[in-house]
Amino acid sequence: MSRTTLVIVLLLINLGPPPFLVAQKIAKTIEIRGVYGNPKPLWEKGHSLKELGVNSIFVHSGALTHEMVKRAKSEGALVFAEFATLNGKNYVDEHPEAWAINELGEKVKAASWFMGVCPTEPGFRNYRMNQLRELIKEFELDGVWMDYVHWHAQFEEPEPILPETCFSNSCLKTFARDFEIEIPEGNTSEKAQWVLKNKEKEWRDWRCKVIASWAEDMKSIMEQIRPNALLGLYHCPWTDEEFNNARRRILGLDYDLLKQTVDVFSPMVYHGRMERKPTWVAENIAWLCDRLNIKDNAYPKVWPIVQAHNDPRIISAREFATVLKGGLESRSSGVMMFTTNAVAEDSHKIEVMRKLYRSIDSIQSSN
């Protein structure tokens, strides 16, 4: 990847007056002009990635094919795989020992559409790590992006679902061992209430370490098989203050721990899904870059994923331009959008992406 410092002029994009991407200068390195999802919808429209200014694709690991990877690389694109790390959908049905348990001692219900899993259940961990090994052995990837890396919850909603988990036997025993704590005898609910009342700080800290350990183990496997591949993280975009610090308190995402291992942070700044204004994207990215103390040409990096997908409402081309540009705010060095299909089905969104990405590419090529 180029480390050349660029002065990028974001050109006026006119889809009819008034222009909705204001021309301005950004002096920094832009490495990634990405799309999330199978590029097939764009290819079927007769586009090439190079012609659109796209230099990277991010694709769910289960959708990757050798033909796709070969074509993308022939068009000058890097290939990154999304890896659904702690998504327990289907798995927990066949392996009930991996079901996350709430503070009442009950199996959790799906949080909106997401079904989490017990992060300390050894069988599930081995299952996922073996999947990772197989994935990076089979495909020549430039990186793997962890997704669903948090304790069971749902943050991609205006009103998030934030249960207390996980109080499985595996979690309680591991927590007690790691902190040398003796949890009084009782049923699961009684043990959970004791932990939350008497050892809450240790419990929150431990949960963050469990999540960070997943990143550490994945990075170790990648270094053995594909040492030059990056480890990225799709993650909740909340600040430290939002929802009473639920990003760390409930989801278990501690930036100070994760930045020791993660190469690239990709906040999921889905403004439409979370009922935020399009301008929130730029504000959030500026906050995150400061929070992580991002430095130019150094790791970790910030490459946000923004929303083009029309759910739960229509995202206009004007909005898409605002959030795509907002994703390049502050010291972000790349951006991608969710999804390729949402862009491919709207000629105006294609033009938004093309003009921004090609303007970046043009200046990069001239340096």
**Other Cβ atoms within 10 Å of 187 Cβ, number:** 9
- Greater pLDDT, 29 or 121: 121
Torsion sign, CA atoms 31, 235, 88, 341: negative
Calculate helix-pair angle for 200-225, 188-198, nearest 10 degrees.
100
Cis ω before 339 (30° cut-off from 0): yes
3-state secondary structure of 365: helix
Residues 133-188: pLDDT tens digits?
999 999 999 999 999 999 999 999 999 999 999 999 999 999 999 999 999 999 99
Tell which CATH classification among 3.20.20.80, 3.30.450.20, 3.40.50.261, 3.40.50.300 matches the domain 6-100+116-162+215-366. Answer: 3.20.20.80
| pLDDT beyond 80 at 229 | yes
Q: What is the pLDDT of residue 296?
A: 87
Mean pLDDT of the residues in the chain: 92
Q: What is the pLDDT of residue 347?
A: 98
Decide: 246 and 163 in contact? Cβ < 8 Å: no
Q: What is the pLDDT of residue 2?
A: 38
Q: What is the pLDDT of residue 367?
A: 64
What percentage of the chain reaches a pLDDT higher than 70? 92
| pLDDT beyond 70 at 27 | no
Q: What is the pLDDT of residue 294?
A: 96
| pLDDT beyond 70 at 23 | no
Short-list 86, 300, 96, CA closest to 211:
86
Taking residues 190-202, report their average pLDDT. 98
pLDDT-wise least confident of 25-34, 58-67, 142-151, 240-249: 25-34
Residues 276-303: pLDDT tens digits?
999 999 999 999 999 999 998 899 999 9
What percentage of the chain reaches a pLDDT higher than 90? 90
Q: What is the pLDDT of residue 95?
A: 98
Residues 230-263: pLDDT tens digits?
999 999 999 999 999 999 999 999 999 999 999 9
Q: In b/e form, how buried is each residue of 196-235, taking b as 16+ CB within 10 angstroms?
A: eeebeeebbbbbbebbbebbbebbebbeeebeebbbbbbb
Residues 322-336: pLDDT tens digits?
999 999 999 999 999
pTM for the model = 0.93
pLDDT-wise least confident of 5-19, 264-278, 287-301: 5-19
Q: What is the pLDDT of residue 164?
A: 98
SS3 of 37-88 = CCCHHHHHCCCCHHHHCCCEEEEEHHHCCHHHHHHHHHCCCEEEEEEECCCC
